[in-house]
Structure 1
Amino acid sequence: MNKLFIILMLSVFFTTQASAQKDLTLEEAVSGQYQQFYPDHVFGFGWIENLNKYSYLKQYQTLVIGEVGGEEKEVLKISEVNEALDVKFNYFAGIKWKDENTIVLKLQNTVVTYNLKTKKGTKIELPENAERTTFDHQYNNIAYTIDNNLYYTSVAQYNQFAVTENEDKNIVSGQEIARSEMGITQGIFWSPTGNSLAFYQKDESKVHDYPLLDITQTPGKLNSIKYPMTGQPSEKAKLGIFSLKNNTTAFIAAKNGAENYLTNVSWTPDEQFILLAEVARSQKHIWVQKYKTDGTLAKTLFEEKKDTWVEPEKPAHFPSKNSNDFVWVSERDGFDNLYYYSIDGELKSQLTTNKFMLKDIVAAHHGEVFFTATGESPLNTLLYKVNTKGKQVLLTKEEGTHSVDVNCTGEYIFDQYSAHDIPNIAVIRKASGKEVKRMLEAENKLADYKLSEAEIKSIKSRDGVDLYTRMIKPKNFDASKKYPVLIYVYGGPHAQMITNSWYDGASLWMHWMANQGYVIFTLDNRGSGNRGVEFEHIIHRNLGVIEHQDQLDGVDYLSGFDFIDTSRIAVHGWSYGGYMTGTMMMKSPNIFKVGVAGGPVTDWKYYEAMYGERYMDTPEENKEGYEKTSLLNQAENLKGDLLLIHGTSDPVVVMQHNLSLVKKLVDLGIQVDFFPYPMHEHNVGGKDRIHLMRKVLDYIIDNNK
């Protein structure tokens, strides 16, 4: 009797627990991924210079200071800064430490300093149209662009100085060049002491204008952007070197081709030289060069060539402040590794010989280089260090995705990481990797929701290559039933959809869609990131071909499960994923029933030169490849339902792609659905993203029956 009662009560308990779980709404899934459900994190972490102290933000409005071996203390509220300096900051925006007592904050175009001891500071208001604000390393000066010119001002007091004064709008200074390809993320480079300022300048006179429609005015207005398409005239880049003391500028121009790229800019520690990589427009040849600060070429240090492409993405790093000898990242042996050079171009040693991908150099000092890399599993991001003798050490033994910050002495590391089953953990480690302080261990904020666990697998392609997959099933999955499939695809270079991190790289809307009775499947095909040259360069001159083949191998894998309804397979992707969606729908019309392609490339001749020519060469050099991979030339094969989506102000994949495909389908008498998002750029963000995902998923559900 007692035993029966206990069984009954346990049954009631587990039934109650199951019924207590909540359904995730699509609105919650879209807007809550990085808000409501984002695991607790240590936000705004920063090391305080030359001390074993650190700071972080508590609820964004309170500054906390801690000591590695001691306690933490709340030291300042943002309201105190507002009162002292007559500003209206609602959080510690962009906080940086100028010295051990002084912080620098920047919100929009207001810049303030505040001394925690004196309770005083400074405030300056930059011009309303100032952009790309960049502090020097001491936070004494700040450079910024206004329209096509470059300026700087003192943080302590407002004195604006013009670095360039070009009236010709085609001459643009201080902005990113090469449309931010090849690791280019900025156009302003302060020297170590802040006495000089290097900056990009580009001449866009020969680059075609591309019109974007602004419907917010009456009548509508065309705004033009410079957009060099593959095979067409491109920008001509220079690097300016401005002396704050002398108010003079010297320029570096490409030596081996007027339209070559200048990338990976770095100052030597003694400020006597600038190192950079000149990349041929073909991107098959680079010259790593040393320039004097008067703009003259001191020496070409070394060259690299490849039949596919050579893509330098990281500047030189200097393991010692007292030496100009540098570390260079190259994938010349098939994977990104570290090579140690003298400032005269002599290869002193190859520091690493890893058969996995380096991701980023985190710090370089005191004879050591700290870097993140995948390690043996391409799904991880781990922290390593190597010294100039080539001794390499793994510092994060826990598998997962680590984000790290090394202090200026190289003694301590702040490490915040997640994994498949870890929402977030934040710790401080010694340089040996040993954990010395655990700051946070986050809970799963989705524990009360009806969500299934993603299944991460590795399958073999038809020619024996390992391909990683992610499958999300409904929470109430029943293996005796048949389920339709939604394949989410990106598939392009540098991207990796599946990682060993919280959510496994997935979006929460995928879990919502799974609970509507779908199996959600993703495969990282060849050509995608973090797998090395052999895996990534196979796509050269034939984008979409091997990627499509790998995606079909994923479908073959799915068809081996009795619970998969192979007659109801949908596909969705954005950008390169939009291109892949169109490719899969048109090359395999009998396999894929429904597709939603957002912001898709439809013909590589319409895409930008910097990216397109790297992977496809020019239309003149690779006529067959362009014709074979164009969706316009495959459109006649379309059978299923296809929804095309585009932001009308897209400056990345311009609307000519989508409209050209729509026109082709109209000419062929084939029905297609099209939905524009007015005034949105390459993706749809903000509150409209809920509308977007409802549009995408409703379309799939309604047409995949």
Structure 2
Amino acid sequence: MRIKSALALFILCCFSLTAQQKITVEEIYTGAFRAQAMDELFAMKNTNQYTVLNFDRSTRSMQIDLYDFATLKKVNTIIDTKSFPELANGIDSFVFSADEKQLLIANNSNPIFRHSFTADYFLYNLETKKLSKLLEQVQQPTFSPDGTKIGFAKANNLFTYDIASGKTTPITSDGKKNSIINGITDWVYEEEFAFVRAYDWSADGKKIAYIRFDESEVPEFSMNVYKKDLYPAVETFKYPKAGEKNAVVSLHIYDVTTGNTKTVALGNYTDFYIARMKWTNDANVLSAQVLNRHQDNLDLLFIDGTTAAAKVVLNEKDKAYVEVTDNLTFLKDNSFIWTSEKDGYNHIYLYDKTGKLKTQITKGNWEVTAYYGFDEKTKTVFYQSVEKGSILRDVYRIGLDGKNKIKLSQQIGTNSATFSPNFQFFINSYSSATQPTVYSLHHAKDGKQVQSIIDNSALAEKIKKYNLPNKEFFELTTEKGHKLNAWMIKPKDFDAAKKYPVFMFQYSGPGSQQVANDWLDTNDMWFMMLSQQGYIVACVDGRGTGFKGAEFKKCTQKELGKFEVEDQIDAAKVIGNYTYVDKTRIGIFGWSYGGFMSSNCLFKGADVFKMAIAVAPVTNWRFYDSIYTERYMQTPQENASGYDDNSPINHVSKLKGKFLLIHGTADDNVHVQNSMQMIEALVQANKQFEWAIYPDKNHGIYGGKTRIQLFNKMTDFIKENL
């Protein structure tokens, strides 16, 4: 009996060493595979230190902790919520004054759209340790440069608050919902130009520049909000769809001392965007980036703060569109660093204060993917690029003259950096498809590691028991000769003599990337789960995606969905010819732009794809917003065929396979109208399909157990139809 028990135990132990523990959707979407991170990592400006927002589970409190860059040791705790009952709800975000002696803390935040929110704000004095509630449910408060005042927005108007006197002074008074917005961007600017605060203090704090949006003529969009009420509420907001009227924007300079406001003369422009606005290092010179509606012509303006007169110092033109970034950096003499794709790849340039090109700092057939900053002392620029391969990221330093380039990151995968204020050190974040994110401290001079900070070894150890397969990276060549980045996940017990079904995932939007050598996200864990159930999962980045040069990215201009769909269909044909693939069982999935793509692929590639899942898809480009859509398509009035030929709603009659369509009713981005009209088109084409609508869920479709239910539904659909 003992011998048999021992033998059984031995067999069980051997089995457990090789068995693959099954992943569940519930685990994925309750955070079981979440990597440890450095939340709200913020490099200080005046001392060689950084802050991290930490959470103490034992006391259910939050701390803003200050650390030394050189030693990584905690210097002190700036504030701990357990000492302040007013912060019982925690710290949502925070911002320092320029001298870093005061802190604005956001609490009780209420989201508006993707980036915007209102919140209560508390002022914390780091010297007196005094906390006081200043502002209720306001937007985007910022300190004046001398720390004596705070600018903020509320109810579409701008104000200043004097800290010493407690006096609030209005800058504007004409703000009105769905009509006039001052100092805060409208929906489409927030979503597509990715900024919310549309005001800025001058370097001496004597002036505030702001953008005013007159959206009175912009068409309105309304959504029902159901909740659990007897009657649904209606949320109405301004949303300019492709070809419709945009908000009329104007630029203004407010004098804090006199209370007078001047309007910047932009009469030379019509139907334009102010894509960026910031003061230069010269307290009397404001910069603004003005784009035409086609977004293929950008002027960088310098504006006199006294007269409000504007002059063009730099012009960028592109046959497709000009990328807008936050990389504009002014040096002490007001010369500036700028990034541009003008030589066919995104690179860093130096211009003098008049806009004359001094030098192209980086060059080559590769892209700069992040600009980190400039060290005035050593005249050194720090950046991230894909020089070692478009699916990789490395950190570099280079002289302002474009010489003495040094690769600072050491490991192959995805590296990003946060530099110390004096550029002596940087915290490197590194991951790959096999390595959870690792944080470590490095010398900025040569990249040598000083010490480890977070290694996520616990997660790496936990992952081992699931015995996950590798994400295999490769280059796929279509029959037409297009070379495309791809990855594939095969079942761990893969047998090349068998035939497997293939589930393809993609996004495919302009400049995007899904094939990257970085750590697994929640989607990847779901794909790993599917591989455990006998599926091969594959992803291909087709033409139009990013980081392989402007020509590859911008070839889809005026025809979104043509070449991207062609590449997914062609890639599926290549994969279908692999000896271990069952070409009659290929499916495809995508979300947002990816949902637009998966719908199109199933319809246009009806003989290639057996099934598709489309989540929150654009089904007709005429329904989507002006800035994004027209950037790539111009207007429907100018390019009707580009809109109609590639919108899936016009190809429903070709449906042969199984189709699952999913949308949230509170999607302010890709409106549920897209799916409703697709549903009607499918019904009138007498096509059978499945669909799911998620009440009051936005573009992300999350909250409570929503993601668990959604991904279980999609898993079941795959198992039943692929």
Q: How much has 1:24 moved relative to structure 2?
A: 1.4
2:602 paired with 1:585: yes
> Residues 219 and 94 from structure 1, CA distance in 2 versus in 1: closer, same or farther, beyond 3 angstroms?
closer
The equivalent position to 2:359 in structure 1, one of 349, 352, 365, is: 349
Q: How much has 1:657 moved relative to structure 2?
A: 1.6
Q: Secondary structure in 2 aligned to 1:205?
A: coil
Q: Secondary structure in 1 aligned to 2:527?
A: helix
Q: Contact (CA 8 Å) 1:487, 1:572: kept in 2 or not?
A: yes
Structure 2 Cα separation of the partners of residues 254 and 467 of structure 1? 44
Q: Secondary structure in 2 aligned to 1:650?
A: coil
Q: Contact (CA 8 Å) 1:576, 1:600: kept in 2 or not?
A: yes
- The aligned counterpart of 1:434 is 448
Structure 2 Cα separation of the partners of residues 565 and 356 of structure 1? 37
2:414 paired with 1:401: yes
- The aligned counterpart of 1:237 is 249
Structure 1 Cα separation of the partners of residues 668 and 251 of structure 2? 25
2:184 paired with 1:175: yes
Structure 1 Cα separation of the partners of residues 562 and 693 of structure 2? 28
Between 1:325-334 and 1:356-365, the stretch displaced more is: 356-365
2:544 paired with 1:527: yes
Between 1:365-374 and 1:188-197, the stretch displaced more is: 188-197
Structure 1 Cα separation of the partners of residues 209 and 631 of structure 2? 27
Q: Contact (CA 8 Å) 1:489, 1:573: kept in 2 or not?
A: yes
Deviations along 1:425-475, whole A, 9 cap, x unmatched? 222222212222322222113222242221111222334343111212223
Unmatched runs of 5 consecutive residues or more in structure 1: 1-6
Q: How much has 1:110 moved relative to structure 2?
A: 4.1
> Residues 608 and 488 from structure 1, CA distance in 2 versus in 1: closer, same or farther, beyond 3 angstroms?
same
Structure 2 Cα separation of the partners of residues 429 and 164 of structure 1? 47
- The aligned counterpart of 2:489 is 472
Say how many residue pairs are matched: 689
Between 1:186-195 and 1:478-487, the stretch displaced more is: 186-195
Structure 2 Cα separation of the partners of residues 295 and 507 of structure 1? 55
- The aligned counterpart of 1:536 is 553
Deviations along 1:303-338, whole A, 9 cap, x unmatched? 2222222232235212x3x21111111111111112
Q: Secondary structure in 2 aligned to 1:612?
A: helix
Between 1:174-183 and 1:336-345, the stretch displaced more is: 174-183
- The within-5 A match list for 1:6-405 is 13-19=13-19, 21-32=20-31, 36-59=32-55, 61-62=62-63, 64-70=65-71, 72-73=73-74, 75-76=76-77, 79=80, 81-83=81-83, 85-89=84-88, 91=90, 93-96=92-95, 98=97, 99=99, 104-108=104-108, 109-114=119-124, 118=128, 120-128=129-137, 130-136=138-144, 141-154=149-162, 158-169=166-177, 170-177=179-186, 178-180=188-190, 181-182=192-193, 184=195, 186-216=197-227, 217-252=229-264, 254-294=266-306, 296-318=308-330, 320=331, 322-366=332-376, 367-391=379-403, 392-405=405-418
The equivalent position to 1:624 in structure 2, one of 634, 638, 641, is: 641
Q: Contact (CA 8 Å) 1:571, 1:594: kept in 2 or not?
A: yes
2:704 paired with 1:703: no
2:662 paired with 1:645: yes
Deviations along 1:495-522, whole A, 9 cap, x unmatched? 2112121127953111112212211111
Q: Contact (CA 8 Å) 1:357, 1:531: kept in 2 or not?
A: yes
- The within-5 A match list for 1:662-673 is 662-673=679-690
Q: Contact (CA 8 Å) 1:455, 1:472: kept in 2 or not?
A: yes
Structure 1 Cα separation of the partners of residues 684 and 72 of structure 2? 71
Q: Contact (CA 8 Å) 1:274, 1:291: kept in 2 or not?
A: yes
Structure 2 Cα separation of the partners of residues 651 and 58 of structure 1? 32
> Residues 240 and 697 from structure 1, CA distance in 2 versus in 1: closer, same or farther, beyond 3 angstroms?
farther
Q: Contact (CA 8 Å) 2:371, 2:384: kept in 1 or not?
A: yes
Q: How much has 1:106 moved relative to structure 2?
A: 2.7
- The aligned counterpart of 2:707 is 689
Q: Percent of aligned positions with the same letter in both sequences?
A: 28
Cα-Cα RMSD:
2.8
> Residues 410 and 230 from structure 1, CA distance in 2 versus in 1: closer, same or farther, beyond 3 angstroms?
same
Q: Secondary structure in 2 aligned to 1:539?
A: coil
Q: Contact (CA 8 Å) 1:593, 1:640: kept in 2 or not?
A: yes
Letter in 2 for 1:171: I
Q: How much has 1:18 moved relative to structure 2?
A: 2.4
- The aligned counterpart of 2:112 is none
Q: Contact (CA 8 Å) 1:548, 1:580: kept in 2 or not?
A: yes
Structure 2 Cα separation of the partners of residues 155 and 593 of structure 1? 64
Q: Contact (CA 8 Å) 1:428, 1:437: kept in 2 or not?
A: yes
> Residues 141 and 560 from structure 1, CA distance in 2 versus in 1: closer, same or farther, beyond 3 angstroms?
farther
Q: Contact (CA 8 Å) 2:395, 2:408: kept in 1 or not?
A: yes
Structure 1 Cα separation of the partners of residues 205 and 411 of structure 2? 39
Structure 2 Cα separation of the partners of residues 345 and 676 of structure 1? 52
Structure 1 Cα separation of the partners of residues 685 and 414 of structure 2? 48
> Residues 149 and 434 from structure 1, CA distance in 2 versus in 1: closer, same or farther, beyond 3 angstroms?
same
Structure 2 Cα separation of the partners of residues 262 and 294 of structure 1? 20
Q: Secondary structure in 2 aligned to 1:675?
A: strand
Structure 2 Cα separation of the partners of residues 166 and 450 of structure 1? 62
Q: Contact (CA 8 Å) 2:39, 2:52: kept in 1 or not?
A: yes
Structure 2 Cα separation of the partners of residues 539 and 508 of structure 1? 31
- The aligned counterpart of 2:111 is none
Q: Contact (CA 8 Å) 2:50, 2:420: kept in 1 or not?
A: no
Q: How much has 1:294 moved relative to structure 2?
A: 4.0
> Residues 125 and 695 from structure 1, CA distance in 2 versus in 1: closer, same or farther, beyond 3 angstroms?
farther
- The aligned counterpart of 1:4 is none
Between 1:669-678 and 1:213-222, the stretch displaced more is: 213-222
Q: Contact (CA 8 Å) 1:525, 1:551: kept in 2 or not?
A: yes
Q: When the two structures are superposed, what TM-score results if normalisation uses the length of structure 2?
A: 0.89
Q: Contact (CA 8 Å) 1:23, 1:450: kept in 2 or not?
A: no
> Residues 378 and 171 from structure 1, CA distance in 2 versus in 1: closer, same or farther, beyond 3 angstroms?
same
Structure 2 Cα separation of the partners of residues 262 and 458 of structure 1? 40
Q: When the two structures are superposed, what TM-score results if normalisation uses the length of structure 1?
A: 0.91
Deviations along 1:147-188, whole A, 9 cap, x unmatched? 322234356774333222115431111222543324545423
Q: Contact (CA 8 Å) 1:498, 1:506: kept in 2 or not?
A: no
Structure 2 Cα separation of the partners of residues 115 and 186 of structure 1? 24
Q: Secondary structure in 2 aligned to 1:698?
A: helix
Q: How much has 1:274 moved relative to structure 2?
A: 1.5
2:588 paired with 1:576: no
- The aligned counterpart of 2:4 is none
Q: Secondary structure in 2 aligned to 1:521?
A: strand
Q: Secondary structure in 2 aligned to 1:502?
A: coil
Between 1:296-305 and 1:510-519, the stretch displaced more is: 296-305
> Residues 651 and 302 from structure 1, CA distance in 2 versus in 1: closer, same or farther, beyond 3 angstroms?
same
Q: Contact (CA 8 Å) 1:452, 1:511: kept in 2 or not?
A: yes
Structure 2 Cα separation of the partners of residues 348 and 135 of structure 1? 34
> Residues 528 and 171 from structure 1, CA distance in 2 versus in 1: closer, same or farther, beyond 3 angstroms?
same
Q: Contact (CA 8 Å) 1:265, 1:315: kept in 2 or not?
A: no
- The aligned counterpart of 1:546 is 563
> Residues 135 and 673 from structure 1, CA distance in 2 versus in 1: closer, same or farther, beyond 3 angstroms?
farther
